[in-house]
Amino acid sequence: MYAVCVKFEIAAGQMAAFLPLVRTNAAASVRDEVGCHRFDVLTDATKPGQVFLYELYDDCAAFDVHLTTPHFHVFDDATNAMIVGKHLDLWDTVTP
């Protein structure tokens, strides 16, 4: 498995608009992408401007496919101005 962890810093006043868009992208990813097995959207009340994504794919190639999908492009275009910071970590499975 290939894990993708993304931490977004959302602009002030944009969280209410951002969350439905990221949830839609997450649902479409799991539903429509054969190589996507999990896509969690997480928030923490003590970190009000942050959203954390935890995604599991078959491999790096499956994640690369994700980045080309129509639903990802819709999400990316719609949220670009809402995001003031983004950190991406990529992980390979060591043990099953």
Q: For the chain, how many structural domains are there in total?
A: 1
Integer CA distances (angstroms), 35 to 15, 39, 68, 80, in order: 28, 11, 13, 25
pLDDT of residue 94: 80
Residue range 85-94, pLDDT digits in tens: 999 999 998 8
pLDDT at 95: 78
pLDDT given at position 27: 98
Question: Residue 48 is part of which domain span?
Answer: 2-92
CATH of residue 43's domain is 3.30.70.100
Query: pTM for the complete prediction?
Result: 0.94
> 4 pLDDT exceeds 90?
yes
pLDDT tens-digit map of 11-61: 999 999 999 999 999 999 999 999 999 999 999 999 999 999 999 999 999
